[in-house]
Amino acid sequence: MNPFADLRPFPVCALLAAILAGACAGALAADGLERARQRGELRAGIHYLVPEYKGGMKFRTPETLDTALLEDVARQVRLPLAMVSAEPGKADIALVRIGQSDALHGAASVIPTGYAAGAMAIMRTDTDIKAWEQLKGRRVCVAEGGLYAGTLAARYGAIEKVYKAPADSLLALRIGACDAAVHDNAMLEELIKLPEWRKFSARLPVGPRMNLVFVLPADDKKSAAVLRQVAYSWAANGYLDRLMSKMVRQIAFEVYLDQDVPDCH
C-alpha cells in the first residue's frame, strides 16, 4: 500500500469550514476578491506559512511553489498579499492539494493551478533500498513545509529527520546523515538532472499525484472566473515550469554553498 494515497494538508471538513465560514452570517454576500479589494488586501489560506525572512538569517527556498503562486495571483489582481493559515473566516481564497476523488470537488469551486505532484524518494545510486517498505528503521530526510513529515514514520517505521527547508534535507542526504530524502517528484526529478546530483539519483516509485488547486465557495463565480484566467495565463506562458526550474537551481545552489564536507562514501 502506498503511504500517500489519502494525503492532504488538513481534513476536508476543516477546509470546508475555512472557506465557507461566515456564509450563514452573510459574510460572503460579496465575492471573495471583491471583499479583498474593499479591504485593500488579499488574504490567501495556505497549509504552511513560510517563516518571515529577517536580516542575518540564512536564506532558504521554500519546499513548495505555493507562496510564489499566491504572490503572482496578488500581482495579477493588483492587491497586497497576506498569507494566513486556512482557518474559519480568515481567507478570501485557499490554495491546497487534493486528490482526483476528494470530496471538495462536489462541495466547492475547485480551480486547478496546473501543478500536480506525488511523493518521491531519492537516494545514493548504490543504495540497498528498493521499495518504500524498506524505509523501516532507516533515516529519511523531509522538510517541515512539505506534506510528507509524519507519514513515513507512521506508515513505514522510518526514522524521520525533519529540516526547516529542502536544501537542509538534501544536504543531509549528501553528507550521509540520511538514507533517503522525500519531497515532491516535480522538484526531485528536476534536481537529479543536474550533473552534481547523479550520484543521488536512485529513486522509489512516485506516490499518487495530488493537484494544487484554488478552493472557493461554490457560489463565488466572479472570483472563480478570475482565478481560472490566472491559471490559464500560467499554462499559456509556461510559468510553472520556469518557476520550478528556478526553484531547483536555487535549492541546488544553497546546498552547494553549505556543503563543507565531501559527499558520503
pLDDT in tens, 85-129: 866 567 889 998 888 777 777 778 899 999 999 999 999 999 999
User: Distance between CA 31 and CA 37 in Å, rounded?
Assistant: 10
Domains 12-116+209-252 and 117-208 are alike in CATH topology: yes
User: What DSSP line would sit under 168-221, residue for residue?
Assistant: HHHHHHHTTS-SEEEEEHHHHHHHTTSGGGGGG-EE-PPPPPEEEEEEE-TT-H
Summarize pLDDT for 19-35 with one digit per residue, the tens: 554 443 334 445 889 99
Q: Residue 11's pLDDT band (boundaries 50, 70, 90)?
A: very low
Residue from 82, 180, 175, 164 nearest 129 by CA: 180
Q: Which CATH class is domain 117-208?
A: alpha beta
Instruction: Please determine, for residue 247, whether its predicted confidence score (pLDDT) is greater than 70.
Output: yes
Percentage of the chain modeled with pLDDT above 70: 83
Of residues 9 and 110, more confidently modeled: 110
Q: Are 45 and 85 in contact (CB under 8 A)?
A: yes
State the residue for C-alpha cell 506516490. Answer: 207
Residue type at position 71: E
The predicted pLDDT at position 107 comes to 78
Q: Which CATH class is domain 12-116+209-252?
A: alpha beta
Averaged confidence pLDDT in the chain:
85
CA distances from 243 to 146, 150, 187, 190 (A): 17, 27, 11, 12
The total of other beta-carbon atoms located within 10 Å of residue 154's CB is: 10
Residue ranges per structural domain of the chain: 12-116+209-252, 117-208
Summarize pLDDT for 49-95 with one digit per residue, the tens: 887 766 666 778 988 899 999 999 999 999 999 998 866 567 889 99
Percentage of the chain modeled with pLDDT above 90: 62
DSSP summary character for residue 157: -
User: Distance between CA 98 and CA 100 in Å, rounded?
Assistant: 7
- pTM summary value: 0.86
